[in-house]
Amino acid sequence: MLDLVPALPAGFPAPIFFVQHIGAHRSHLASLLDGRGPNRAIEAKEGDVPAPGTIYIAPPDHHMLLEGGVVRLTRGPKEHHARPAIDPLFRSAALDCGLRAVGVVLTGMLDDGSAGLRAIKDCGGIAVVQDPTEAHEPSMPQSAMAAVQVDHVVPLQGMGQLLFELAQPRTGLPAAEAPATLRREYAVALGERAVENLKAIGKPSLFSCPDCGGVLFELNDKRLVRYRCHTGHAFSMRSLAATQEQVTDSALWTSLRTLQEKEAILRRLAEVQKAEGLGSAEASLREADELAAASAALRRLTLKAPSPASFDAS
């Protein structure tokens, strides 16, 4: 985005909404972007009325949505283990703007944005993807191209002018009816009749949600294998694998710490038992030795575990 902003012509005829996976960390992205191009950049606020020539940045730890022509910010359930995430913005834009929506997927890991970009296409909008051959992280553009029949695949050098042309006012656009499944999924994310809507668009899987522990439903649309729980957390197959790896890694290290603590307690107990002349000291030491061996094996397993980045292979 730092390279794209200077390429956007002055007087851009539409508002621009930008999401980056910044999590709950403080961000200076709006001020950085504001100084790099002719169009102003601001951090989005609840209730903002989108203005042409303005870049709205999703604030940390908030999804940014478009509803009724205004910006809505929510700390709703994470998607792809991220908040803000791109898919919620794209889905809301598809429902709120229909044929006028233009979705753009830039460089990034895993596949957030793919399902949302398809929602934009399903509602008659336009899909644009950065050329993955020049992307620093090609996974997101490649995933979008695999899931969506995109309209334009362009390098950043030519994207500014293309978006300027696509953003020109268009008249006489026919009304587009949003798919019922998209409306139901959007309602699940907002917590509206979540269980009822989820049952209508998916079926229970064998997997549990790594964010809340609830049952994950596999959505019926197979163009991109995806999952949702009834609280609204959402994953693709790839982001689920990556998130589960993070959870597993944390659990392994917690187990290792617990085993080592128990070993230390048993060795201290053996010292006390020996000082008091109790015959049970040897039994405590044997159990401590067994725990030490188990800890060593678990540590080797933990150090060999793949990193979440390994699930980003396309």
Domain range summary for the chain, segments of one domain joined by + = 5-166, 193-232, 240-312
Q: What contacts 305, CB < 8 A, 6 or more positions away?
A: 245, 248, 249, 252
Instruction: Enter the pTM of the model.
Output: 0.84
Task: State the burial class of residue 168 (Cβ atoms within 10 Å of its Cβ: 0-12, 13-18, 19+).
Answer: exposed
Whether 175 has a pLDDT exceeding 80, the answer reads: no
Dihedral angle over CA of 150, 155, 157, 161, nearest 10:
-10
By C-alpha distance, which of 70, 78, 75 is closest to 17? 70
Whether 13 has a pLDDT exceeding 70, the answer reads: yes
Confidence of residue 10 (pLDDT cuts 50, 70, 90): very high
Average pLDDT over residues 284-293: 93
As a whole-number percent, the residues of the chain with pLDDT over 70 amount to 96
More confident residue, 188 or 303: 188
3-state secondary structure 214-255: CEEEEECCCCCCEEEECCCCEEEHHHHHHHHHHHHHHHHHHH
Residue type, 162: L
Tell me how far CA of residue 49 lies from CA of 10, 28, 68, 124, 184, in angstroms.
20, 22, 10, 23, 26
CATH superfamily to which 5-166 belongs: Methylesterase CheB, C-terminal domain (3.40.50.180)
Average pLDDT, the chain: 92
For 34-83, the pLDDT digits (tens) are 989 999 999 999 999 999 999 999 999 999 999 999 999 999 999 999 99
More confident residue, 9 or 22: 9
Specify the DSSP element, H or E, that contains 303. Answer: helix 281-304
